[in-house]
Structure 1
Amino acid sequence: MQTHDKLLDVMNRLVSLTESDKDLVRTSFKPISGEKQSRLVEVGQIPRCLYFINQGYVRVFALEDGEEMTSHLNCPPGFITAFSSFIRQVPSEDCVECLTHADLLAITRDSLHQLYALSPRLTEFGRIIFEQSVAYNEQRIKELKSLTAEQRYLKLLHEHPDIIQNVPLQYIASFIGIKPESLSRIRRQIIS
């Protein structure tokens, strides 16, 4: 599989790309590798790039009272960065960290805006992804309030069954809003 195939497939499912659009994507999104535990964005840094995950697991987290709070766990295919800071070009309050080795495609904010200026189909794709992101975050907030910890864990496992093999349990616990000990108890109950 070529470096940009997953990204182009995701895009093409939402909008019909022309060959010119595909060429723009190939030249604008640069392949990079993120080593396990490497940081793509640090606290206080203005995020330069938006990343598309071809392979690997990446998380977004913030420090709250000295404790890491994971807000996003992303796996392929997906986009990741410190979104609010990337959009507004202000220092990030979040870290973006590779949990495993990750093969990524990176695009700078300026290049992204240039893509939008050059192609109405890529602009439409950006709008659709933005809307999906807003809907996902609203749903996530509702689930954190309305589902039990066990339901949130089972839902995550159902949607991303390979997450257990690739993401440390303390990050999964943080992502679903519980302590690692509580997740261990839930996992024991599910197994028995």
Structure 2
Amino acid sequence: MLQQKLIDFIKTRHQLSKEDVDLIAQYFEPVLFPKNRIIEESGKVPKYLYYINSGFLRLFHYQENGDEITTHINCPPGFLTSYFNFVKETPSNEQVETITECELLRITKADLDSLTAKSLAMKDFSIEIFQQCITYNESRSLELATLSAEQRYRKLMADYPGILHHVPVSYIASFLGMKAESLSRIRKKLTS
């Protein structure tokens, strides 16, 4: 069952009944996308919340001058969407793109609402995930405001050491709030 990784992930935090497992299998649709594919477009209401079985995704938007700003890079296991817009069902200015080939599970807002109405465990899990998202975003904002570029890079490498093997340096630099040239200088300094 392609939903097994998600089920195992949830079981690390919550007890799941047979009915809960059946509901997860019913509501989460497995999908496979090639690398460099836009799977949610800006200007539209995000259709899905994605769970990442394998692969890397990014959330990004364009500045007025046309530059891309990567706001989130996610690696398995984890969830990704433009959360505020997904929950509020409003158009997002962000896009979701696969960086590598991705094996995902996806669920619509309506199906997530049905699932959480039918399963207390999934309701509790969903609340936990959205709380983690808020905490992560606040922590990230604080890091961008208070840490130097080198400190942000070191923290990313400590937290996600495999990211450089799968994600282009330009996306990592944008995510860290710097130009690719600055990140190259930092990496050169740290390896010399």
Cα distance in 1 for partners of 2:21, 2:185 equals 48
Asked if 1:71 corresponds to 2:71, the answer is: yes
1:62 maps to what in 2? 61
2:87 maps to what in 1? 87
Cα distance in 2 for partners of 1:39, 1:81 equals 12
Cα distance in 1 for partners of 2:146, 2:12 equals 32
Q: RMSD of the alignment, in Å?
A: 0.8
2:184 maps to what in 1? 184
Cα distance in 1 for partners of 2:95, 2:107 equals 18
Partner deviation per Cα, 1:54-107 (whole Å, 9 max, x = no partner): 000000001012100000000000101121211111111001000000000011
Asked if 1:125 corresponds to 2:125, the answer is: yes
Cα distance in 2 for partners of 1:168, 1:5 equals 29
2:159 maps to what in 1? 159
1:138 maps to what in 2? 138
TM-score by length of 2: 0.97
Cα distance in 1 for partners of 2:42, 2:136 equals 24
2:46 maps to what in 1? 47
The code of the aligned residue for 2:75 comes to C
Cα distance in 1 for partners of 2:80, 2:189 equals 33
Cα distance in 1 for partners of 2:52, 2:70 equals 18
Asked if 1:28 corresponds to 2:19, the answer is: no
The code of the aligned residue for 1:86 comes to F
Aligned pairs, number: 191
The code of the aligned residue for 1:13 comes to T
Q: Which moved more, 1:136-145 or 1:4-13?
A: 4-13
TM superposition shift of 1:161 = 1.0
Gaps in structure 2 of 5+ consecutive residues: none
Cα distance in 1 for partners of 2:90, 2:39 equals 15
The alignment-based identity, stated in percent, is: 43
Q: Which segments of structure 1 move beyond 2 Å, counting only runs of 4 or more?
A: none
| SS across alignment from 2:12 | helix
Cα distance in 1 for partners of 2:42, 2:118 equals 32
1:14 maps to what in 2? 13
Partner deviation per Cα, 1:103-128 (whole Å, 9 max, x = no partner): 00011111100011101111000111
TM superposition shift of 1:9 = 1.6
Cα distance in 1 for partners of 2:46, 2:34 equals 18
TM superposition shift of 1:45 = 1.6
Aligned pairs for 1:103-114 (under 5 A) are 103-114=103-114
